[in-house]
Chains A and B, each alone.
Chain A
Amino acid sequence: MQLSAAIYAIPLTAGISLVYCASRFEMPNKIVRSAVIMFAKTIAALAALYLLLLYLSR
C-alpha cells in the first residue's frame, strides 16, 4: 500500500516538471529538455529520501 502511494509521485513529478518548465521557456525543445532534467533530479532526490527513510526505519 505504501509503495503504490509512492508510485503516484512519478507521473505527478512528470506533470509538474513539464508545466513548470513550460512557464520558464518558450522553445519546445528547451521546455522538454529542461523538464526531463528537472524530472530526473526530482525523482533522484525523492528516491534518496525514500531510501534514507527506509534505512532509518529498519
Chain B
Amino acid sequence: MRDPRVRLRNPVTAALLALAIPGAGHWYQGRRFKATIYSVCILTIFVWGMILGGGQPVYSQLIYRSDGPAPTAQLQASAPRMKFSFGYVAQVLVGAPAWPALVQEMRIRNQEARIDWIDEPIESDFQGVLSQSHGVQETQIISGTIELIPANERGSKVATGTLHAVFTDGSKQDLTLGGDVQLGRPVFGSPRRELRCRVRGQDAEGHDVSFDLEGTVQRRFIDWFEAPRDTLELDRLNGALSQSYDIGSVFTWIAGLLNLLAIWDAAEGPAYGYGDEEELPDDEDSAD
C-alpha cells in the first residue's frame, strides 16, 4: 500500500520523465535525494559502459548483407536486412542516452545509399591495402592521409585527389586518385567508412602503374554513433577491445534495467514502504 507521506504528484508524468532521464521523475516529485541517487548511479554505469565499449555498445539493429554483388553490408546500395538486437530492450530503458539508436535506425531505413557517389570533398586519415592491378598480384598495407574531391561540384561517381601513403617499411609516396569511387553507406555503426577506388603511382622500378585501393576513411560522429552495424564491425570491436566491449555492453544493459526500478518507484512509490517501519517490533526483517 502506498505510504501517504510519499508525494507522487502526477505518477504518469513522473514515470514518463523517469523513462526519459534517470532521476527526472523524482526531481519533478520533489524527491531530490532519490533523484540524485538514480541519476548519478544509473548514468554513471551507462557512461562507464559506453567508455569500456569504445562508445559503441548501444545499437538497435544488426545489419546483414543481402544477396548481391556487394562485398560488405556497408557497400550495399539496397536497403539492408536488419535484425533486432535484444540487448537494446534493456538499453532503451535508460532513456534519452539510448534514443539516438532509434533515430539512426530510421535514417538507415529511409536512406537509399549511393555507394558509387561522392557528394562532397573528403579529407581524412586512411588505412587500407594497395593491390597492383596488372602483372603479378601484390598487396601492400598502407596508411596515411587522403584528399578526395568529386569531379563535379554537385557530386560525382568519379573522384580525383591524392593519397599521401606511408608503407609498412616507412617509405612514403603520393598516389594520384582517379576514376570511379565506391564509398560505404553514409550512416553505419562504424567510425570507419569503407572506400574503394583506383590510384596511380610508381612501382619499384619507377614505372607508372595503376593500383586498386581498398581501405577506410573516417565517418562523421553523428553518422556512426549508436547506429546499426554488421557482424564485421562487432568482430572488429571484439578484436580491438576484447572483454572490455562485452563488459561495457553488460553495463549499459544493467543501467537500463536499474532505471526500470526508478520508473516503478516514480509511479508507485517505494516497494517496501517509507523506511521507518522497522521501528515496529514485528517488521524488523522487512528491510532485507
Hey, which bits of chain A sit against chain B, CB under 8 A?
1, 5, 8, 12, 15-16, 18-20, 22-31, 34, 37
Contact = CB atoms under 8 A, between A and B. Distances in A.
B258 A24 contact: no
B275 interface: yes
Given A12-B251, A15-B41, A31-B275, A23 B270 contact: yes
B275 A25 contact: yes
Contacts of B243: 1, 5
What is the size category of the interface that chain B forms with chain A?
A: 20 to 34
Nearest to B268: A23
Contacts of A26: 3, 5-6, 31, 34, 269-270, 273-275
Contacts of A29: 275
A25 B270 CA distance: 5
B264 A25 contact: no
Interface in B217-276: 243, 247, 251, 254, 258, 261-262, 264-265, 269-276
B273 A25 contact: yes
B89 interface: no
Contacts of B288: 37
Contacts of A28: 33
Given A26-B5, A26-B270, A26-B274, 12 more contacts: A5-B247, A15-B42, A15-B44, A16-B254, A18-B37, A19-B38, A20-B261, A22-B34, A24-B287, A26-B269, A27-B274, A31-B33
* Interface class of chain B by DSSP: helix
Contacts of A15: 41-42, 44-45, 258
A19 B262 CA distance: 8
Contact of A12 (B6, B45, B261): B45
A28 to B, nearest CB: 5
Contacts of A27: 274-276
Nearest to A35: B37
A10 to B, nearest CB: 12
Contacts of A12: 45, 251, 254
A39 B240 CA distance: 33
A34 B287 contact: yes
B247 A19 contact: no
A30 B261 CA distance: 17
A29 B197 CA distance: 65
Contacts of A18: 37, 41
B45 to A, nearest CB: 5
A49 to B, nearest CB: 17
13 contacts: A5-B243, A12-B45, A15-B42, A16-B254, A19-B37, A19-B38, A19-B258, A19-B261, A22-B265, A23-B262, A23-B264, A25-B272, A26-B274
